[in-house]
Amino acid sequence: MNKKLYFFQSIHFKIALVFALLFLITFQIIGAYFVQQLKKDDLKTFKQQVELSSYVDNSLIDNLAKGDMKSANANIRDILEDINNSNVTQVQVVDTKGTIRGDSDVNSQSWVGQKTTDEDIKQVLYNGRTYTKLTYDKTDDKRYYVSITPLFSSSGNTNTLVGAVYLRASLEQVYSSLSNVTVIFFSAALIATGLGLFLAILISRAITQPIDEMKKQTARIARGDYSGQVHVYGNDELGQLAQAVNNLSVRVEEAQESSEAERRRLDSVLSHMSDGVIATDRRGNVIIMNEMASEALNIDAAEADGQSILDVLNIRGRYTLRDLLEKHDEIILNLSDDEHEQVLNAYFSLIQRESGFISGLVCVLHDVTEQKKIDRERRQFVSNVSHELRTPLTSMRSYIEALNDGAWKDPKVAPNFLKVTQDETDRMIRMINDLLSLSRMDSGTSKLDLELVNLNELYNYILDRFDMMLKTDTNDNKKAKKNYTIKRDFTRRELWVEIDTDKFMQVVDNIMNNAIKYSPDGGVVTCRLLETHNHVILSISDQGLGIPKKDVSHIFDRFFRVDKARSRAQGGTGLGLAISKEVIELHGGKIWVDSIEGKGSTFYISLPYEEYEGDLWDEN
Ligand code: ADP
């Protein structure tokens, strides 16, 4: 998150402040030095200006050296009066004894002839060295320059101190001109600083504006918006940086797009895979789970996210994560419950970096339920076939053995024994034929020989045959055959359906035979034919044994028989309904049964049906 930037934290403010301070400090230093220098020069000039000329000095020396004090004082007064310097406020002449000999100030004439009290003058008279100072006079609030110069008279090589001149000059003019200069200077400095500040703001704006734009652009990039471009103002470092940000934006967008495309590709591969895939991090916590995996394990992908794979696969306790990392063969997960069967094979592989560092685990779940079921069914089938063949073969062998042992000579038993072996052989041939036609249908080599048939007619034809059989059987009266009545309940409409007549007749024959076979003597078999808007439904109801509820779902399985002994005694192979189901399904139809144990069963066949408009033969 971007924190809010206050103005005083911004580079903009900082640059402006630094510039302003720099200007101020520079002007301060230059100003201070300049004023100091100016003051020094001014004072120097001032001192030269107020200095008494050597002529005045010499005149004073001459008068001080004179014996006649009175006339000398009068001369000194004249000399002092002649000093015409507006800055000089007071000149006082003192002799070596410290007596004031003259004063330029008219108000101080009474001092003349008295001893001076000024310590500085005494000091100069004592050590003979010039003394100067700058003083401030509180009484008139003015600054003064004071110089006390010793006066020497020279005769030959010797200099003799004859007195000293005390000079006081007002510095007001110097200071006022200095302060004028200072004021001018500082106001110039202030204006310059202001201008500098303005320039600094302009410069810092020129720097911060592109930076600000770049900041905004990078924030947009971070949000995933690559549409903007930073304005490139020039070819300086900032311009190059802006260009670099623009390039970066394009690169990031490209990288983002390619990784997005990669992710989408991976997503679509994962979601279209027929196997379940789970990927985990190196701690074994789920990070990716595709739809198949979530379906197979019946767990929501979002719910599984972050959970340990051991819990997701429900194998905690049986395996540890280390086992999964080290194990390279599959684990069989049996998720079957009472209602449905489900067996998965889980294969594990490591996600490893080049360095060998394990960064995760991939688990591929392959649903082997169907395969297991097929395997089981195949085994069951082989065992069924062997069993079905062994029974007639064993019985045949015992009859043949008996015949071999001499029974062939017995005219009473021999024909009977031979009949049994023939029946068993017939049954085996029937079974083999049934198996062959089933196998052809399984392998898809059995083709339907379709023709458009009027189903009412065909159904009637089949049932007529059963009626005929009844008649011939009774006439024959060789054996007590079962009696039955066939009731027909057909729609009047002609139903033209495209079917393979032979195969379809085989199916109806089989169901009719069963209805008679598993019915009591004299039972009524009701045959119906009706149509819905896109199906024809054919049903055969009997008043027989019915089928126990638990067996209804298996009735169309190969070799399934409710009562094996009974079926076999009736010459059944247990394949009739299985073949019927295959044939009807090849026609795109359905076959099913409704049954109440002890009351009877109804077998239904539905076939897709399309009503033909107009006369059928018109189409040719
Ligand atoms: P089968 O050759 O044994 O008749 P089918 O495949 O035709 O073999 O039938 C399988 C089993 O279904 C039969 O053994 C029988 O137990 C049961 N069955 C079929 N039709 C009927 C029916 N109409 N009434 C009662 N049980 C039936």
Nearest Cα neighbor of 201 from 444, 34, 7 is 7
DSSP 3-state percent helix, strand, coil across the chain (nearest 5): 55, 20, 25
Residues 527-565: pLDDT tens digits? 999 998 889 999 999 999 899 999 999 999 988 888 877
Find out whether the beta carbon of 541 lies less than 6 Å from any atom of ligand 1: no
For residue 276, give both structure tokens.
């379940």
Looking at the structure, do residues 19 and 117 belong to the same domain, yes or no?
Answer: yes
Q: Residue 561 C-alpha to ligand 1 middle, in angstroms? A: 6
For the segment 278-321, what is each residue's pLDDT rounded down to a tens digit? Answer: 999 989 999 999 999 998 888 998 999 999 999 999 889 888 88
pLDDT tens digit string along 237-247?
888 888 888 88
Q: What is the residue whose two structure tokens read 């019946």?
A: 298
Record the tokens describing residue 441, joined without a space: 């249908």
Instruction: Tell me how far apart the alpha carbons of residues 133 and 446 are, in angstroms, rounded to a whole number.
Output: 139
Q: Are residues 198 and 283 in the same domain?
A: no
pLDDT value for 612: 67
Distance between CA atoms of residues 510 and 555, nearest Å: 13
Q: What is the DSSP letter of 464?
A: H
Which residues pair with residue 149 across a beta bridge? 165
Residue 357 resides in a domain:
yes
Atom 20 of ligand 1, nearest CA residue: 514
What Å distances lie between residue 545 and 174, 548, 566, CA to CA?
A: 145, 9, 12
Cα–chain center distance at 605 = 56
Query: For the residues 350-375, what does the mean pLDDT come to?
Result: 90
Are 470 and 580 in contact, with CB atoms under 8 Å apart?
Answer: no
Which two three-digit tokens encode residue 530?
């009706």
Q: 546 Cβ partners below 8 Å, 6+ apart?
A: 595, 596, 597, 598, 599, 600, 601
Q: Which of 314, 343, 367 is the last residue of a domain?
A: 367
Which atom number of ligand 1 is nearest to the Cα of residue 571? 2
452 and 589, same structural domain? yes
508 and 539 share one domain: yes
pLDDT (0 to 100) of residue 214: 87
Residue 223 within a domain: no
Residue in 373, 368, 285, 374 with CA at minimum distance from that of residue 330 = 368
- For 341, the 3-state DSSP assignment is coil
Longest dimension (CA), the chain: 210
Domain count, the chain: 4
Using a CB cutoff of 8 Å and minimum separation of 24, what contacts does 194-203 make?
Answer: 196/19, 196/20, 196/22, 196/23, 197/16, 197/19, 197/20, 197/23, 199/19, 200/15, 200/16, 200/18, 200/19, 200/20, 201/12, 201/16, 203/15, 203/19
Contact call for residues 95 and 122 (beta carbons, < 8 A): no
C-beta of 562 in contact with ligand 1 (< 6 A): yes
Sign of CA dihedral 195, 196, 199, 204: negative
Taking the C-alpha atoms of 208, 212, 217 and 223 in order, what is their torsion angle to the nearest 10 degrees? 150
- pLDDT at residue 618 is higher than 70: no
Q: Is the distance from the beta carbon of residue 555 to the nearest atom of ligand 1 less than 6 Å?
A: yes
User: Relative to the CA of 546, which ligand 1 atom is closest?
Assistant: 25
Q: What are phi and psi of 489, to 5 degrees?
A: -135, 85
Nearest CA to ligand 1 atom 2: 572
- Residue 434: CB partners within 8 Å, gap ≥ 6? 573, 575, 576, 579
In this structure, the residue with its CA closest to atom 21 of ligand 1 is: 514
Q: How much is the pLDDT for 474? A: 52
Least confident of 94-108, 135-149, 334-348, 561-575: 561-575
Contact 583, 576 (CB under 8 A): no
Q: Which of 515, 567, 571, 564 is nearest to 544 (CA)?
A: 515
14 and 161 belong to one structural domain: yes
Q: Which residue has the tokens 């004031």?
A: 100
Question: Is the CB of residue 95 less than 8 Å from the CB of residue 76?
Answer: no
Q: Is 567 in the pocket of ligand 1 (CB under 6 A)?
A: yes
* Cβ count within 10 A of residue 473: 15
The CB of 510 under 6 Å from ligand 1? The reply is yes
Answer whether 514 contacts ligand 1 (Cβ < 6 A).
yes
Query: Are the C-beta atoms of residues 544 and 600 closer than 8 Å to each other?
Result: yes
Residues 198 and 107 in one domain: yes
What's the confidence (pLDDT) of residue 615? 54
CATH number at residue 546: 3.30.565.10
pLDDT on residue 303: 92
Q: Is 351 within a domain?
A: yes
Burial of 260 (0-12, 13-18, 19+ CB in 10 A): exposed
In a shared domain, residues 493 and 557 = yes
Please determine, for residue 613, whether its predicted confidence score (pLDDT) is greater than 70. no
Question: Whose CA is closest to atom 7 on ligand 1?
Answer: 576
On whether residue 237 sits in a domain, the answer given is: no
Q: Tell me if 46 CB under 6 Å of ligand 1.
A: no
Same-domain pairing of 57 and 173? yes
Residue nearest to atom 8 of ligand 1 (CA): 574
Please tell me if the CB atom of residue 601 comes closer than 6 angstroms to any atom of ligand 1. yes
Dist. CA 602 → ligand 1 center (Å): 12
Closest Cα to atom 18, ligand 1: which residue? 514
**Ligand 1 center from residue 481 Cα (angstroms):** 19
The closest-lying atom of ligand 1 relative to the alpha carbon of residue 564 is: 14
Q: Per-residue pLDDT tens for 142-169?
A: 889 999 999 888 877 888 888 899 999 9
Q: Are 449 and 500 in contact (CB under 8 A)?
A: yes
Angle at 123 between CA 119 and CA 124, to 5 degrees: 120
Query: Which residues form the domain of 433?
Result: 372-441
What is the rounded average pLDDT of the residues 43-70?
84
Which of 384, 514, 592, 601 for mutating ligand 1's site (highest number of atoms within 8 Å of CB)? 514
Answer yes or no: is the C-beta of 519 below 6 A from any ligand 1 atom: no
At 464, the pLDDT band (50, 70, 90 cuts) reads very high
Can you read off the two tokens belonging to residue 487? 């009731």
- Residue 478 is predicted with a pLDDT of 44
Residue nearest to atom 14 of ligand 1 (CA): 561
Q: Is residue 505 part of a domain?
A: yes
Gap between the Cα atoms of 104 and 91, Å rounded: 5
Neighbours of 298 (CB within 10 A): 8
Q: Last residue of a domain, which of 312, 334, 367?
A: 367
Q: Which are the contacts of 159, defined by CB distance < 8 A and separation ≥ 6?
A: 152, 153
Q: Which of 12-26, 418-432, 520-534, 581-595 has the lowest mean pLDDT?
A: 12-26
What confidence score (pLDDT) does residue 384 get? 87
Residues 482 and 412 in one domain: no
The closest alpha carbon to 448, from 506, 402, 403, belongs to 506
Same domain, 436 and 455: no
Angle between helices 237-272 and 172-223 (to 10 degrees): 20
Question: What distance in Å separates the CA atoms of residue 503 and residue 449, rounded to the nearest whole number?
Answer: 9
Write the single-letter amino acid at 554. Answer: H
Burial group, residue 204, by CB count within 10 angstroms (0-12, 13-18, 19+)? buried
Same structural domain, 67 and 197: yes
Q: Mapping DSSP to helix (H, G, I), strand (E, B) and coil, where does residue 122 land?
A: helix
Tell me which of 427, 518, 550 to substitute to probe ligand 1's pocket, judged by most ligand atoms within 8 Å of the beta carbon.
518
- For the Cβ of 525 lying below 6 angstroms from any atom of ligand 1, the answer is no
Distance CA 101, CA 162 (A): 11
Does residue 156 form part of some domain?
yes
Across the range 46-72, mean pLDDT stands at 83
Question: Looking at residue 116, which CATH number applies to its domain?
Answer: 3.30.450.20
Give the pLDDT band (50/70/90) at residue 502. Answer: very high
| pLDDT in the model for residue 402 | 92
Contact 407, 413 (CB under 8 A): yes
Structure-model confidence comparison of residues 155 and 385, the more confident one:
385
CATH code for the domain of 379: 1.10.287.130
Mean pLDDT value of segment 8-37: 83
Q: What is the pLDDT of residues 256-281, one digit of tens each?
A: 899 999 999 988 998 888 899 999 99
DSSP H helix total and E strand total for the chain: 17, 17
CA–centroid distance, 507 to ligand 1, in Å, is 13
Tally of residues, the chain: 620
Amino acid at 253: E
Domain end call among 344, 367, 390: 367
Count of CB atoms situated within 10 Å of the CB of 301: 16
Whether 536 lines ligand 1, by a CB cut-off of 6 Å, is no
Same domain, 309 and 384: no
Average pLDDT, the chain: 87
Q: Is 600's C-beta closer than 6 angstroms to any atom of ligand 1?
A: no
pLDDT of residue 356: 86
> Cα separation of 196 and 88, whole Å?
45
- Measured CA to CA, the distance from residue 214 to residue 297 in angstroms comes to 50
Element (H, E) at 58: helix 54-65
Indicate the residue type of 213. E
Whether 563 lines ligand 1, by a CB cut-off of 6 Å, is yes
Report yes or no on 392 lying in a domain: yes
Q: Is the distance from CB of 604 to CB of 537 less than 8 angstroms?
A: yes
In a domain, 575, yes or no: yes
pLDDT tens, position by position, 575-606: 999 999 999 999 999 999 999 999 999 999 99
